[in-house]
C-alpha cells in the first residue's frame, strides 16, 4: 500500500511540474492563459473497514484548470494588432467560406494576406460582421471573414461644388470688365479645388473674386471661373451669368447688404457652368462625358471687415481611392481611409463568449473549442452587454507571473523529492522484513 501511495504522490508532483514548466515556456506567448494542476485525495473503504482508523490511499489529479484572468499589454505600431480589454474571445476560422468551423482565441496578432483578408499567423481568418456604411450599425450577426480592399469606389463625376467664404469689405475696387485670370492685378482673390470627370480624372477648378467699382453698388463682387486640363488653364462660362468681362467670359455677381449678409447671387438664378467638354469649356477629357456641368452652391457668403477666408470649398465627385490607413475603434469597427478622401466602415470584429470558460477545450496555438461543459457560444459586439472593448495597436501578453511560477516549480520539486523518499523508506522496510530469519 505504501508503494502505491508514494507512486501516486510522485505522479501528482510530476503533473504539477509539467504544468508549471508549460506555463514558464509560454511566458512570451501572446494570449496564453496559465494552467493550474488541481488535486484530490483518494480515499477508499469497504463495509468491513473502520472509517475512523482507515488512512487515505494517495492522490489523484482532479483537473488542469486554466486561469482566464487578463495578461498585460504590449503596444505595437500595427493597427491590426488587437486586444480585448474585458470579457470575450476573437473567433478565427480555418476556412474562409465555412465560418462555422471556428476556434476561440485571445491572441490578437493579425495582419493582411495577399488577398487583403485579415488573418493570424496560422492563416486563420478573423470573423466579423457586415455594417451599414451610413449608420455603422451591424446589419447581420452572421459571422464572416473580414476583408480590407486596397481600392474603393468607382469614379464619380463632380456635379455640385459647395463654397463658403468671407470677402473683405475693405478690398480694393477693380473693374470687373477688365478681369484676366492671367493678370493678378485684375482680381482681388483667387482659390481653387479639385473636381473630377466621369472617369475620375482630376481638374483644378479656380474661382476669381473681383470687387466692383460701381459707386451705385459698392457691395457687389464679380466671380469668374477657370478649369485646368493638361493643355493649361481655360475659362469656364456660367449659363445665364450676370457678369461679363471684355474678353467675353461670363461669370456672376454676389451682392451684399450693408450688414455684410448676402443679398443676392447671380440675381437669384442657379449658377451652372457650360458643358465642360469640347463643345463648351473646351477641356480635353480623354473620353469622359463632355456634357458634364458643375453647379456652384454658395453657403451664406459674407462681406465683413475681416480678411479673405475660405470656410468651405468641396465637391461631390471622387476618383478611385487606394488604401492609405486602417483604424479600428473600441467597438471593433474597421475604418479604412482611401486616397480619394473616402472613410469607409468595412465591418466590425465579432466577439464571442461562453457561460463557463473552464469548460473550453484547448486545441493549441492559444485557441479553444466550445464543448458541452462550456455552454453554447454567444456572438455579439464589443462594449455591448458583458463584452469588453477592443484596443487597436495592442496585444495581450500571457498572464504568467514568472516569480510565482518559479516558486511553484520549487514546491513541486520538493514534493517530488519527499514522495521519492517515502518510496525509498517503504522499499527499505520491505527489505528488512524479507531479511528476517
The model's pLDDT over 368-397, given as tens digits with 9 standing for 90+, comes to 999 999 999 999 999 999 999 999 999 999
- Which residues have a Cβ under 8 Å from the Cβ of 268 and sit 6 or more positions away? none
Residue 111: band (very low, low, confident or very high) from pLDDT cuts 50, 70, 90? very high
Q: Where are the strands (E) in 240-332, listed by range? A: 243-244, 250-256, 262-265, 271-273, 295-298, 309-315, 321-328
The pLDDT of residue 139: 85
> How is residue 389 written as a grid cell?
472593448
Q: Return d(Cα 193, Cα 282) in angstroms, integer.
A: 19
The continuous run of DSSP H or E covering 35 comes out as: strand 35-42
Please report, for residues 61, 70, 114, 132, 418, the alpha-carbon distance to residue 36 in angstroms, rounded to integers and kept in the order given: 11, 15, 40, 44, 21
The pLDDT of residue 53: 63
The model's pLDDT over 286-310, given as tens digits with 9 standing for 90+, comes to 999 999 999 999 999 999 999 999 9
Q: Return d(Cα 232, Cα 281) in angstroms, integer.
A: 12
CA-based nearest residue to 143, from 115, 104, 106: 104
The pLDDT of residue 48: 64
Lowest mean pLDDT of 90-99, 162-171, 186-195, name the range.
90-99
Q: Return d(Cα 38, Cα 33) in angstroms, integer.
A: 16
- The answer to whether 222 touches 243, Cβ cutoff 8 Å, is yes
Q: Return d(Cα 417, Cα 212) in angstroms, integer.
A: 102
39 backbone dihedrals φ, ψ, rounded to 5°: -120, 160
- Mean pLDDT in residue range 265-280: 95
Q: What share of the chain is helix, strand, coil (3-state, %, to 5)?
A: 15, 40, 45
Burial class (CB in 10 A: 0-12, 13-18, 19+), 41: exposed
Site of grid cell 447671387: 265
Please report, for residues 4, 41, 66, 374, 402, the alpha-carbon distance to residue 408 in angstroms, rounded to integers and kept in the order given: 24, 20, 15, 28, 10
6 backbone dihedrals φ, ψ, rounded to 5°: -65, -40
The pLDDT of residue 152: 81
Lowest mean pLDDT of 184-193, 219-228, 316-325, 328-337, name the range.
316-325
> How is residue 151 written as a grid cell?
481600392
Q: Return d(Cα 393, Cα 271) in angstroms, integer.
A: 48
Mean pLDDT estimate for the chain: 92
Please report, for residues 129, 183, 367, 375, 386, the alpha-carbon distance to residue 352 in angstroms, rounded to integers and kept in the order given: 12, 66, 13, 12, 10
Residue 144: band (very low, low, confident or very high) from pLDDT cuts 50, 70, 90? very high
Neighbours of 261 (CB within 10 A): 12
Evaluate if residue 437 carries a pLDDT over 70.
Answer: no
- Can you tell me whether residue 230 is helix, strand or coil? coil
Q: Return d(Cα 345, Cα 152) in angstroms, integer.
A: 12
- The answer to whether 338 touches 321, Cβ cutoff 8 Å, is yes
Give this prediction's pTM. Answer: 0.69
- The answer to whether 281 touches 237, Cβ cutoff 8 Å, is yes
- Mean pLDDT in residue range 237-255: 96
Neighbours of 315 (CB within 10 A): 21
- The answer to whether 281 touches 269, Cβ cutoff 8 Å, is no
The pLDDT of residue 2: 66
Tell me which range, 6-15, 52-61, 200-209, 426-435, is most confidently predicted by mean pLDDT: 200-209
Residue 45: band (very low, low, confident or very high) from pLDDT cuts 50, 70, 90? low
Neighbours of 185 (CB within 10 A): 8
Handedness of CA 210, 216, 219, 223 (dihedral sign): negative
Domain boundaries, the chain: 2-69+398-434, 73-152+322-396, 160-315
The pLDDT of residue 426: 79
The model's pLDDT over 46-105, given as tens digits with 9 standing for 90+, comes to 666 666 666 778 888 888 999 999 999 999 989 999 999 999 999 999 999 888 889 999
Partnered with residue 198 across adjacent β-strands are: none
Q: Where are the strands (E) in 274-406, listed by range? A: 295-298, 309-315, 321-328, 333-338, 343-349, 351-353, 361-364, 367-369, 378-380, 389-392, 394-396
> How is residue 93 written as a grid cell?
476560422
The model's pLDDT over 15-40, given as tens digits with 9 standing for 90+, comes to 999 999 999 999 999 999 999 998 98
Q: How many helices (H) and strands (E) in the chain?
A: 2, 32
Q: Return d(Cα 414, Cα 428) in angstroms, integer.
A: 21
- The answer to whether 128 touches 390, Cβ cutoff 8 Å, is no
What is the fold, at CATH topology level, of the domain defined by 160-315?
Answer: Tick-borne Encephalitis virus Glycoprotein; domain 1 (2.60.98)
Amino acid at each position: 500500500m505504501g508503494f502505491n501511495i508514494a507512486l501516486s504522490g510522485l505522479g501528482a508532483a510530476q503533473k504539477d511540474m509539467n504544468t508549471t514548466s508549460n506555463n514558464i515556456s509560454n511566458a512570451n506567448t501572446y494570449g496564453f492563459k496559465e494552467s493550474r494542476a488541481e488535486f484530490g485525495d483518494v480515499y477508499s473503504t469497504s463495509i468491513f473497514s473502520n472509517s475512523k482508523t482507515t488512512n487515505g490511499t494517495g492522490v489523484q489529479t482532479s483537473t488542469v484548470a486554466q486561469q482566464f484572468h487578463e495578461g498585460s499589454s504590449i503596444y505595437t505600431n500595427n493597427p491590426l494588432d488587437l486586444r480585448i480589454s474585458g470579457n470575450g474571445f476573437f473567433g478565427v476560422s480555418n476556412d474562409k467560406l465555412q465560418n462555422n468551423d471556428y476556434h476561440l482565441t485571445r491572441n490578437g496578432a493579425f495582419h493582411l494576406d495577399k488577398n487583403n483578408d485579415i488573418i493570424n499567423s496560422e492563416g486563420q481568418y478573423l470573423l466579423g460582421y457586415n455594417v451599414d456604411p451610413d449608420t455603422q450599425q451591424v446589419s447581420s450577426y452572421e459571422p464572416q471573414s473580414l476583408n480590407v480592399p486596397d481600392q474603393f469606389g468607382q469614379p464619380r463625376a463632380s456635379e455640385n461644388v459647395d463654397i463658403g467664404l468671407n470677402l473683405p469689405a475693405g478690398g480694393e475696387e477693380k473693374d470687373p470688365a477688365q478681369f484676366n485670370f492671367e493678370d493678378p492685378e485684375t482680381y482681388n482673390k483667387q482659390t481653387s479645388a479639385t473636381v473630377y470627370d466621369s472617369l475620375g480624372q482630376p481638374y483644378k477648378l479656380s474661382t476669381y473674386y473681383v470687387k466692383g467699382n460701381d459707386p451705385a453698388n459698392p457691395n457687389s463682387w464679380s466671380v469668374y471661373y477657370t478649369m485646368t486640363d493638361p493643355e493649361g488653364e481655360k475659362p469656364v462660362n456660367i449659363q445665364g451669368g450676370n457678369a461679363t468681362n471684355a474678353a467675353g467670359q461670363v461669370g456672376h455677381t454676389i451682392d451684399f447688404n450693408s450688414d455684410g449678409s448676402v443679398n443676392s447671387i447671380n440675381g437669384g438664378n442657379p449658377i451652372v457652368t457650360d458643358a465642360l467638354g469640347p463643345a463648351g469649356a473646351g477641356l480635353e477629357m480623354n473620353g469622359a462625358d463632355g456634357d458634364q456641368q458643375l453647379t456652384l452652391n454658395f453657403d451664406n457668403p459674407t462681406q465683413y471687415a475681416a480678411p479673405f477666408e475660405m470656410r468651405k470649398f468641396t465637391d461631390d465627385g471622387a476618383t478611385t481611392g487606394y488604401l492609405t490607413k486602417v483604424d479600428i475603434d473600441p467597438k471593433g469597427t474597421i475604418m479604412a481611409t482611401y486616397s480619394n478622401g473616402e472613410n469607409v466602415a468595412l465591418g466590425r470584429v465579432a466577439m464571442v463568449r461562453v457561460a463557463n470558460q473552464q469548460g473550453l477545450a484547448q486545441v493549441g496555438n492559444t485557441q479553444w473549442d466550445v464543448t458541452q461543459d462550456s455552454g453554447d457560444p454567444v456572438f455579439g459586439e464589443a462594449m455591448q452587454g458583458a463584452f469588453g472593448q477592443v484596443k487597436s495597436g495592442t496585444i495581450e501578453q500571457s498572464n504568467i507571473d514568472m516569480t510565482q511560477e518559479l516558486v511553484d516549480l520549487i514546491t513541486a520539486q520538493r514534493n517530488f523529492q519527499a514522495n521519492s523518499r517515502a518510496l525509498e523508506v517503504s522499499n527499505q522496510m520491505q527489505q528488512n522484513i524479507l531479511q528476517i530469519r
